[in-house]
Structure 1
Amino acid sequence: MPAEFVRYRSPEEDSDRWRGFSFRDGDIVISTRSKSGTTWVQMICALLVHQEPDLPEPLAALSPWLDWLVTPRDEVYERLARQSYRRVIKTHTPLDGVPIDHRATYIVVARHPLDMAVSLYHQGDNIDRERVAELTGGEVQTRRARPNLHDWLLAWIDSDADPRAELDSLPGVMWHLRDAWARRQAPNILLVRYADLARDLDGQMRDLAARLGIAVDDRRWSSLVEAASFEQMRTRSTRLVTALPGVLKDEQAFFRRGTPGAGREVLTPAELERYERRAAQLAPPDLLGWLHDGG
């Protein structure tokens, strides 16, 4: 990986694990911020590749998270090397920290930042931090008592965090999306909105299949769309996230809510304007128009 690539590190992730990865024709890399539709798009891509509603392995095994320190790097590389089918690889690293290979397609999923933040807040209570520390060899990340969701969300909006150090902050979310937005004309960079998946899953899956060059037998199509629905994924949560070894306290709680609007339900009109002013400081108007439309 070229030296000029940004290296993103946290107690649980290290984008330097991409260094030395061997790409193959047809690889699909899904690059998202946390709680922005990663698992949903992993599932859609896996269904399109395998064309069966029942996947041959748990989703997290079929589509491993390459830069997550919980699983040793060599184990992830070996798992991907053994896959004879088209590979789907997960990362939370922005594209400026990932090798851009002409043989691969990169899908960046965007969710309304307020909805993403609400989901992130609830997800924080569902992680077994002692188990994460055990698996990564790090220290237990102690957490102070958090404020209620409303007050936490306002603080999240106002945060002036370094976007490269705190990727799930509002500056970090916009950093990730701004970089992808600048690359959107590249033939192998696709931007997908969470709100569009929620509104028209069938249409979005057809568009993704076309962009990925995957032909699907019409007789299989309805079963694949049904398998990718939020309701079905929540029902099959253990099967989908079972490769996360004890990190989640409750697998089903991982799929808490699949419809947009959670963030705006928490805030007053004046507070929503406060968010919009802050977002306007962090991203260009055309990106914000696309990101917020339908959200």
Structure 2
Amino acid sequence: MPEPPTRYRSPDEDSARWQGFPRRPGDIVISTRSKSGTTWVQMICALLVLRTPDLPAPLTELSPWLDWLVEPQEQVYARLAAQRHRRFIKTHTPLDGVPSDPRVHYVVVARHPLDMAVSLHHQGANLDRARVAELTGQPTAPDRDGPSVEQALVRWIDADPDPREELDSLPGVLWHLRDAWARRHRPNVHLVHYDDLRGDLSGQMHHLADRLGLDPPGPDLVEAATFDRMRARADRLAPDPAGVFKDRSAFFRSGRSGQGSALLDDAGRARYRARAAALAPPDLLAWLHRDR
């Protein structure tokens, strides 16, 4: 018998919510680490499934984050049960924490970990901590000056938590991707790289449509998935149904690649490479880093 899924929990999410979720043939599960292209690929799936740049509802309603504890489980289940179109569902849970179903497609999105860490740092500064505390029942963290982005990046590289407990750490990011990489030859598991979306959005959308058995996108759908168009529609596309961002447009901050490496000196880059090499196989790292 297959091993039961690993359970991942944090103060605001619990992967156990997947266990009772009734799946449908053709469901699309989008599994990513934070700030790695989640919203981008949700939007791409919305466009490929719904065939219009004018979405009928905010993206978070069309593609809910199933394991997020802020929204009651029964409410998320009911909204997804009412959807008549092919469903595309967000999770930050690695694939070993989600029930494996040959009828379901799993899309795992990867980004260079240093770029992801920089974006995560800036997102932290955009969070309304009082609102987060209100929603989670946790005490409000006092406002204080945090480390600079350069200092935070060095600390992030050196931190060594249990990857299953801190999934947005460097060990956690590579834990997530290592598991997906091992499944990449399965016909229903699809890996997408953030840099490929930046370099050839149309080609990547056509490729993903083919893998998912969907019609290829026209130019209007590709245009609707560009970073600038998405940032202009941040009010309907930013993943903020509970109002935890100070500025929704700041969620789409820059989307650039290479910014993390540029913040490090030679010693910092060498330290990162050594840490990554200890946490993931060379073929995964070659694909992930693109030899930058």
Short-chain TM bin: over 0.9
- Superposed displacement of residue 142, structure 1: 5.2
The AA in structure 2 aligned to 1:81 is A
* Cα distance in 2, alignment partners of residues 20 and 3 from structure 1: 17
* Cα distance in 2, alignment partners of residues 243 and 160 from structure 1: 30
Match of 1:254 in 2: 251
The AA in structure 2 aligned to 1:188 is N
* Cα distance in 2, alignment partners of residues 209 and 287 from structure 1: 24
- Superposed displacement of residue 241, structure 1: 2.5
The DSSP-based 3-state class of the residue aligned with 1:108 is strand
1:254-275 superposed Cα distances (whole Å, 9 cap, x missing partner): 0001221110120112211111
- Superposed displacement of residue 144, structure 1: 5.9
- Superposed displacement of residue 25, structure 1: 1.1
Instruction: Name the stretch that deviates more: 240-249 or 49-58.
Output: 240-249
* Cα distance in 2, alignment partners of residues 203 and 60 from structure 1: 25
Match of 1:182 in 2: 182
* Cα distance in 1, alignment partners of residues 147 and 240 from structure 2: 31
Which of 221, 230, 235 is the equivalent residue of 2:227?
230
The DSSP-based 3-state class of the residue aligned with 2:22 is coil
Which of 277, 280, 285 is the equivalent residue of 1:283?
280
Match of 1:210 in 2: 210
Match of 1:156 in 2: 156
Deviating runs (4+, > 4 A) in structure 1? Answer: 141-144
The DSSP-based 3-state class of the residue aligned with 1:47 is helix
* Cα distance in 2, alignment partners of residues 133 and 223 from structure 1: 40
**Structure 1 residues 196 and 9, CA, compared in 2 at 3 Å: closer, same or farther?**
same
- For the aligned residues, what is the CA RMSD? 1.5
**Structure 1 residues 144 and 174, CA, compared in 2 at 3 Å: closer, same or farther?**
farther
The DSSP-based 3-state class of the residue aligned with 2:61 is helix
- Superposed displacement of residue 143, structure 1: 6.7
- Superposed displacement of residue 198, structure 1: 0.5
Within 5 Å, which residues of 2 pair with 1:1-295? 4-141=4-141, 145-216=145-216, 221-241=218-238, 244-293=241-290
**Structure 1 residues 104 and 142, CA, compared in 2 at 3 Å: closer, same or farther?**
farther
The DSSP-based 3-state class of the residue aligned with 2:13 is coil
1:68-115 superposed Cα distances (whole Å, 9 cap, x missing partner): 111111100000000000001000000111111111100000000000
1:14-58 superposed Cα distances (whole Å, 9 cap, x missing partner): 111112101001100000000000000000000000010111111
The AA in structure 1 aligned to 2:290 is D
**Structure 1 residues 165 and 143, CA, compared in 2 at 3 Å: closer, same or farther?**
farther
1:112-163 superposed Cα distances (whole Å, 9 cap, x missing partner): 0000000000000111122122223344355764211111111100111110
- Superposed displacement of residue 3, structure 1: 7.2
The DSSP-based 3-state class of the residue aligned with 1:34 is coil
CA contact (8 A) 1:70 1:132 kept: no
The AA in structure 1 aligned to 2:100 is I
How many aligned positions are there? 291
- Superposed displacement of residue 242, structure 1: 6.8
The AA in structure 2 aligned to 1:148 is S
The AA in structure 2 aligned to 1:89 is I
* Cα distance in 2, alignment partners of residues 106 and 145 from structure 1: 39
The DSSP-based 3-state class of the residue aligned with 2:276 is helix
Q: Percent identity?
A: 64
Please give the TM-score of this superposition, normalised by the length of structure 1.
Answer: 0.95
The AA in structure 2 aligned to 1:281 is A
* Cα distance in 2, alignment partners of residues 200 and 19 from structure 1: 36
* Cα distance in 2, alignment partners of residues 242 and 211 from structure 1: 26
